[in-house]
Structure 1
Amino acid sequence: MNSRPSSSPRPTDAISATKPLPRPGHTLSVCPVRLSGMQWLPAFTRLQYMILFGHFALQLTAWTLFGLIWSKQIIAIPLPDLIHDVQSWYKPLTFFVTAISSSLALFSTVLFSLAVRQWISCQLRTKRGLRLHTFLRSMHFASHSIITDRGQNGLWLAASIIVFIIVALQPAGWNTLLTPQLFDLDTKVSGKEIDLANPRLDLYLHNGSLDACVLDNSVLVGLAIGETESGFSAAKGAQNVPSSLSIANFIFNTSTAGILPLSFQDIPTSSAFDNATVIPHSISGPGIGIPRSLSVVQQGFTADVSCKFQTLTTTTIPSLTITTISPNETSAPTQYNIDSNCPMPATLGNTTRASTYALAENDSGYLLMIACANGASYTLIFIGGGDQYAYLNSTVCTFTPKITNVRVDYHYLPSASSNTTGNLPARIDTITLPGGIPDSVGGPAGVSAVATVYEMIRFAQGEEMNVVGDQLIAVLQGVDGEGFVSDRDGVLTAMEEYLRGVAEYSGTLLRACLSSHKTSGIFADGIPKEITTSAIGELRTYFFGWALTSSTVWILVPGALIAFASIALVLSSAAADLRLRPEESGLFDPLDAFDLMRASAAGGLVGVFDSEDGGGGSKGELGDVRVMLEMITGRGMGLIGRVGTAKSGEGLNVT
């Protein structure tokens, strides 16, 4: 049995085994054997390759995503319905992306820690080793913690804080890069549309070139139905009753305001106008599946309408003559004729709009209308008769056409599959702005509006009813119930709003007809530039996805700095002048408590802390001590301490 010496034993004296203490399960070698059989590869260790390739993969992923966003500016998730159901999926998605971001950041941090630990291990094997303070503080960097030693150099504290912050920012950077967001993107848009106030249009009108669009665009049945519906919708809207109007799959809120809707696609018009083909698309925008809204100031058309009840005779101005032709048979309808000697502009068809007739059964009713020119406006005379429409009596309306500016808001719903649905607005809201330019009597827009109202009244009349009269009754009943007939002001207001709605509808029809490409005739190839005006607005796009923002660049900096530091440590380690062969270094991890205790005991590092008064060496004294790994005969790999520049083989020299 060995006897214990009489002097105070050093802790290393208790180690007498010829091999280091075994460490079950300890397999990590921070400075392992270099690769063999692959001479074409640089002389890095397996761990160094793992660190390099790991950071390369992370940075390649991050910068590839950044480059993709940079090149495309916008990457939208092609699932438009997500926007309408955000609450049900966005938080789970955020959790999932955060988990991925944290994992990627953790992987980068682990690689950095391995790089520092591997650098420490390799530096300990060099001829000079490491200063003890450097050795201890380097392990703070490996564990990315803040150095809190008293009396330390302020640079060490600052460096540790910087590393701590950079490591902490990595998850936030990855999360910002990977998490899709709801974007609200505004884009300026501009276009051209026909200018109804352009005097050149008058030249085309007077030579008959525009007759097909100005005088005859209300002859088709489908468009005539829209005329009465436009008046009905406007009259209801004036009474705060929800109403909408549909034209060629465009749905207007209350009224068209006389604008031609902008479209992302060509609009077929062959079924609406003679010789017409399509209205070419007037705006380009994001693809189908991206919700968007469009606000544009466009040129519109309306009419200032003022109505009153007035008794007219053959001697008044304007005059009115009513004749009745009774049928020869009792079952035949009665013919009612009205005419006036009021003046008419030649462009309105001479006197054809100053007289009209209707066939109606005696007990049903009729509604007739004639139009006259009156200075800067038109005079529209309505005669209602019979049991149903006597409430209109003799109504005279001053009708003043006006070119306006209109703010138009297009609201689109997303569609992933249907071009028709996805590229047409779900609703169009119009707000006529103050001001406007009166359209002179005889101008194309005003003539078209008067002709449209005239043809509408004719088309609405049947033997037993008149659609316009019935719709006015429906509007008045919706406000006053059964007492609508007694509200004479209400009747006039309803008539004014009805006519305004029809006038605005006529402006939309006129623009559509003139803007259509045609097989022959006027404007066959589109509207000449000299009779166009600008439409300016803003396209607002809503989407979930990724877009390049000011934050996209700096979020890559933390990961890039960690990767740069790790690569620099790997290169520094690979270039180190090692005293020991790789296989002699054994298994040593500077952050492993067992490895530190074993190597310290084997090398007698505890002697560094001895002092004559038994209080241990001061930190100032320890600053000159260098530690290094050295093979200790009979003890294995050990940490030894030397003062100043002592070289290997000089023995432990601690003062």
Structure 2
Amino acid sequence: MQSNNSLRQSASTLGKAEDQQSTGEVKYTRRMIWPLCIIVGQGLLLSLAWGFFAGVRARGRIPLPATAALLAQNNPLSKTYIVTFLATSLSAVSSYLFSQAVRHTILVYLTRSLSVSTLGFGILISRRTLILERQAILWVLTGGVFFLATLGQTASWTALLTPNTVVSLTPLEGKEIDLRSDAFSESTSQFYALWNGTAAENLQNYLESSSISPFLGASGIASASYAAGYYSVVNFNGQDYLASTGGIAPTYLIDANLASTTKGLSTSNTKPLPPAGTLFNTSMIQQGLTADVSCQYQQLNENTNPPVMRDAYTVNIQEGNVDVPYSVTSVSTVCPNGQVITSSLLSGTNETLVSLICATTNVAGSPTYTVIIDGQGVYAGPNGASVQCTMTPQIQDYVVSYSGRFIDSIPVSEPLDPRIAPAPAGVADIAAYCLSRVFQYGQNGMRNVVGDSMSAIFTGQNYEGRSLSETTLWEDYIRGVVEFVGTAVKWDLTWVNGPLGGNPPSTMTHTISGHAFTTSLGWEYNKAASPAFLIPSTFVAVASILIALFAQFRNRGIPEQHADFDPNDPLMLMAAASAGGLRETFPGLTQSVIKEGGLTKVSLGQIDDRHGFVEVV
């Protein structure tokens, strides 16, 4: 009963106009309303898609505001739901407009004549359904193209609108102490004023203070440990350096808007910083201090070159009411310039480790040093050999990464480029001086910090099957000490209580550069992939517009009594077929009958007082 009522309503829709035969007048719908709606709707969708794409392409990347980025990162499922819902909605609107464009085109052709099979194929296309008819390959291909295009719209919008991880690079520029400046040449009075001038915190006092001296040996141990395969960190003035300081002093990033009000050396952005994202770090190219070191075991005595003279005697030191015997070990050498270098240590066990350092000059006139590490007792080398090293302090440029907890310095040239100019004599001598002192700082009558630590590294790496030689580890130890000296010198010269009051002159500084990396969520232009994402949605929109325009130019309007006819509605199709003159077109449901009947051409018309499909002969 319900079906009969629906059929009657559909038939009524087809014949709702006045009896035009009696009046002889046919009224048509306005021409511009339906195509204008389709064109404007799809045009807005195209503008949204390509406008968004153009904005991302023009800017390269568009990060989300910080709050939105953090919210999206912390709620990934919500982000996916919102983007997918929005993409599905836009896709649904586009598909609806496409369906309406095809529907109105079918109506236009039904005002003239259209084969039943073409009508059926058109209905399938408007419904975005695959056409499976081997005898109509062209329709199969056409239907397949539109099916895939409309199916891909949701994926197209999702790919376009989903915020992904983007990395924004902001150029940075700053100032730091330049160890190559004339202030660090021994030929200038400025160097001696810095080294041992009247300032309470001159470089010598600072480096020999109890707040700095322990870090010298610790930095060497950390460097050797890292080379041996152990995780090691140097913590100095609140900063953590991975393995070694690299001779660099950390720079501090200050927003360019505040840089003019900040004293001292700092780094600021040369372009506006993006909104703070989910991760922020910086990378700078900075100047550091390191050393080119080469060590080997040598049997040294008073007759070798260099000569090494050893002397030991016992002294009694009263501890309470008891005289305790201690051994005094004295080791000396004669430098090429005739200077005698002597190191004496007091030990309760006659197990000592001393260093002797002589300055020499290589063929290029650069400061080079001979370092002799002489051990006694458990610290002696194979067969009593000493470690003899050649050390050339060098100023090296590093890529310094300020990411996470640690400051990581990677030399721009690794291994060290031998063409790099050695450090000025002043800086080199400071490094050599501190290296000679570090063995004394860590040694007393009952303990030898350097010797015990290095012995533990030797033993540990051999136990774990590593193959670094002891001389190689001594090279890393020396290098670690020298690199820390560079960091400490730079720190003191920029410290507010240092000899320069925290305000070094411009002649002692140079410009450094780098980038700030802001990792956030947003949209980033991809030259290869980004345009491809827009193909499905663009194809459907353009096709809808072209279909609407084509249909518009093919007719002068649709008769009003047929304007509400929807070929996608099966009830309306049944009403049109039963009310019209197609009763004998399909006498059965066999394939042959349907195929033959599909060749029949029909149009929307009137038979007697009923409106429906009329066969066109």
Q: Same fold (TM over 0.5)?
A: yes
Aligned counterpart for 2:161 among listed residues 172, 178, 199? 178
The offset of 1:503, in angstroms, is: 2.1
CA 1:367–1:49: 2 relative to 1, 3 Å: same
Aligned counterpart for 1:412 among listed residues 403, 413, 428? 403
Q: Which residue of 1 aligns with 2:259?
A: none
Aligned counterpart for 1:55 among listed residues 25, 33, 42? 42
Q: How many residues align?
A: 562
Whichever residue aligns with residue 590 of structure 1, its letter is P
CA 1:452–1:131: 2 relative to 1, 3 Å: same
The offset of 1:288, in angstroms, is: 5.1
Whichever residue aligns with residue 170 of structure 1, its letter is Q
User: Any stretches of 5+ residues in structure 2 without a counterpart?
Assistant: 18-29, 196-202, 256-262, 363-367
Alignment of 1:519-538 (within 5 A): 524-525=505-506, 527=508
The offset of 1:241, in angstroms, is: 3.0
Q: Which residue of 1 aligns with 2:185?
A: 204
Whichever residue aligns with residue 399 of structure 1, its letter is T
Three-state SS of the structure 1 residue aligned to 2:189 is coil
The offset of 1:109, in angstroms, is: 1.4
2:60 equivalent to 1:69:
no
Whichever residue aligns with residue 56 of structure 2, its letter is I
Q: Which residue of 1 aligns with 2:567?
A: 590
Task: Determine the C-alpha separation between the residues in 2 that align with 1:28 and 1:325.
Answer: 127
Q: Which residue of 2 aligns with 1:647?
A: none
Judge conservation of contact 1:299–1:535 (CA < 8 Å) in 2.
Answer: no
The offset of 1:244, in angstroms, is: 2.5
2:150 equivalent to 1:167:
yes
Q: Which residue of 1 aligns with 2:107?
A: 121
Q: Which residue of 2 aligns with 1:499?
A: 478
CA 1:112–1:494: 2 relative to 1, 3 Å: closer
Q: Which residue of 2 aligns with 1:552?
A: 530
CA 1:506–1:480: 2 relative to 1, 3 Å: same
Aligned counterpart for 1:143 among listed residues 108, 114, 127? 127
- Counting aligned pairs with the same residue, the percent is 21
2:615 equivalent to 1:638:
no
Alignment of 1:412-561 (within 5 A): 412-413=403-404, 425=406, 427-428=408-409, 432-433=414-415, 435-437=417-419, 443-462=425-444, 464-476=446-458, 478=460, 495-510=474-489, 524-525=505-506, 527=508, 544-549=521-526, 550-561=528-539
Q: Which residue of 1 aligns with 2:540?
A: 562
Q: Which residue of 2 aligns with 1:15?
A: none
Deviations 1:337-360 (A, max 9, x none): 958574588xxxx97x945666x5
Deviations 1:131-157 (A, max 9, x none): 6665444324312345566776x7656
Deviations 1:565-611 (A, max 9, x none): 3345556667743463x3x337421122221221122221346679x
2:218 equivalent to 1:229:
yes
The offset of 1:548, in angstroms, is: 0.8
The offset of 1:130, in angstroms, is: 5.0
2:96 equivalent to 1:110:
yes
Aligned counterpart for 2:394 among listed residues 383, 388, 403? 403
CA 1:241–1:131: 2 relative to 1, 3 Å: closer
Judge conservation of contact 1:296–1:535 (CA < 8 Å) in 2.
Answer: yes
Q: Which residue of 2 aligns with 1:601?
A: 578
CA 1:155–1:403: 2 relative to 1, 3 Å: same
Deviates more, 1:54-63 or 1:517-526: 517-526
Query: TM-score normalised to the size of structure 2?
Result: 0.69
Deviates more, 1:334-343 or 1:108-117: 334-343
Whichever residue aligns with residue 558 of structure 1, its letter is P
Deviates more, 1:455-464 or 1:172-181: 455-464
The offset of 1:311, in angstroms, is: 5.8
CA 1:617–1:111: 2 relative to 1, 3 Å: closer
CA 1:622–1:448: 2 relative to 1, 3 Å: same
Judge conservation of contact 1:304–1:400 (CA < 8 Å) in 2.
Answer: yes
Task: Determine the C-alpha separation between the residues in 1 that align with 2:550 and 2:13.
Answer: 18
Three-state SS of the structure 1 residue aligned to 2:186 is helix
Three-state SS of the structure 2 residue aligned to 1:605 is coil
Q: Which residue of 2 aligns with 1:628?
A: 603
Deviations 1:536-585 (A, max 9, x none): 9x9988655431112222322322332233345556667743463x3x33
2:249 equivalent to 1:255:
no
Three-state SS of the structure 1 residue aligned to 2:103 is helix
Three-state SS of the structure 2 residue aligned to 1:380 is strand
The offset of 1:29, in angstroms, is: 8.4
Judge conservation of contact 2:247–2:482 (CA < 8 Å) in 1.
Answer: no
Task: Determine the C-alpha separation between the residues in 2 that align with 1:28 and 1:54.
Answer: 31
Judge conservation of contact 1:310–1:394 (CA < 8 Å) in 2.
Answer: yes
Task: Determine the C-alpha separation between the residues in 2 that align with 1:316 and 1:158.
Answer: 91
Deviations 1:592-634 (A, max 9, x none): 2221221122221346679xxxx989979957x4x43335554
CA 1:586–1:67: 2 relative to 1, 3 Å: closer
Whichever residue aligns with residue 95 of structure 2, its letter is T
Task: Determine the C-alpha separation between the residues in 2 that align with 1:148 and 1:297.
Answer: 68
- Tell me which of the two structures has the higher relative contact order, counting C-alpha pairs closer than 8 angstroms and 6 or more residues apart: 2
Whichever residue aligns with residue 106 of structure 1, its letter is A
CA 1:496–1:108: 2 relative to 1, 3 Å: closer
Deviations 1:435-473 (A, max 9, x none): 424866972442122022123234334565443344334
Judge conservation of contact 1:105–1:171 (CA < 8 Å) in 2.
Answer: yes
